[in-house]
């Protein structure tokens, strides 16, 4: 599949996750430690007809998977939220970061577009800093703290399903900075969530997100 994606997307280099460059952004975990999580995503969640559906915390998912060793190895009993994002996205649209790790449990194959906070200058980021990686189906990755990321991009007509585990409270409530004297506060959007959006992403802009991505709103083509 990655060979076809590379051929169709000459505007951005798509790399495999075994490329050394991936280590700057994330690491790959043992998929076998998340079998029950994959089962929950497959059997208990659906992909919407259009756009994405994101839920920060699903209590039923928590009951089904909270005991998994793979989660403990990353968060060491820290309170976490068990959520997922399923959908049909194919564009960059925005980049967010957290001051914590994030687990992505990718049931479906997808492409992630990533950068690092050190690529931000004056609260803007040029898309020439974006690195794109193909994530095979049934892959689990830990995004490092301060890795810029957003929605997966689909690589098949059926869309994607991706579990998301974060410290509890992340993405749950809108946060107003107490001062804009600190430059980074302009990017603060929700609990443990700082974001830059592309000018095309009017939905996020209408909610008060900072316009900070310069360059094309990169689209991943799969057919």
CATH code for the domain of 153: 2.60.120.10
Within-domain flag for 129:
yes
pLDDT, one tens digit per residue, over 31-60 is 999 999 999 999 999 999 999 999 999 999
Share of the chain above pLDDT 70, in %: 100
Q: Is the pLDDT of residue 177 over 90?
A: no
Helices (H), 114-213: 202-206
Q: How many domains does the chain have?
A: 1
Within-domain flag for 190:
no
Within-domain flag for 61:
yes
pLDDT, one tens digit per residue, over 80-116 is 999 999 999 999 999 999 999 999 999 999 999 999 9
| Parent domain of 94 | 2-174
Q: Is the pLDDT of residue 180 over 90?
A: no
pTM greater than the 0.85 cutoff:
yes
Residues 6+ away with beta carbon under 8 Å from 97: 117, 145, 146, 147, 148, 149, 193, 194, 195
Within-domain flag for 46:
yes
**pLDDT at res. 176:** 86
Within-domain flag for 80:
yes
Within-domain flag for 183:
no
């Amino acid at each position: 599949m990655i060979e076809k994606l590379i051929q169709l997307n000459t505007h951005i280099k798509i790399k495999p996750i075994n490329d050394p460059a991936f280590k700057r952004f994330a690491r790959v975990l043992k998929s076998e430690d998340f079998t029950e999580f994959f089962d929950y995503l497959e059997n208990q969640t659906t992909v919407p007809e259009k756009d994405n559906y994101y839920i920060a915390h699903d209590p039923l998912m928590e009951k089904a998977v909270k005991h998994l060793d793979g989660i403990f190895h990353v968060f060491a009993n820290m309170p976490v939220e068990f959520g997922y994002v399923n959908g049909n996205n194919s564009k960059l649209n925005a980049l967010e970061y957290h001051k914590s790790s994030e687990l992505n449990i990718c049931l479906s194959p997808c492409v992630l577009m990533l950068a690092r906070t050190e690529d931000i200058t004056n609260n803007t980021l040029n898309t020439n800093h974006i690195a794109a990686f193909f994530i095979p189906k049934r892959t689990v990755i830990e995004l490092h703290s301060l890795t810029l990321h957003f929605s997966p991009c689909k690589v098949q007509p059926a869309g994607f399903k991706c579990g998301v585990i974060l410290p509890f409270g992340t993405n749950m409530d809108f946060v107003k900075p107490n001062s804009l004297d600190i430059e980074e506060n302009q990017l603060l959007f929700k609990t443990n969530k700082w974001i830059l959006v592309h000018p095309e992403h009017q939905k996020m802009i209408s909610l008060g997100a900072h316009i900070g991505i310069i360059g094309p709103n990169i689209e991943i083509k799969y057919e």
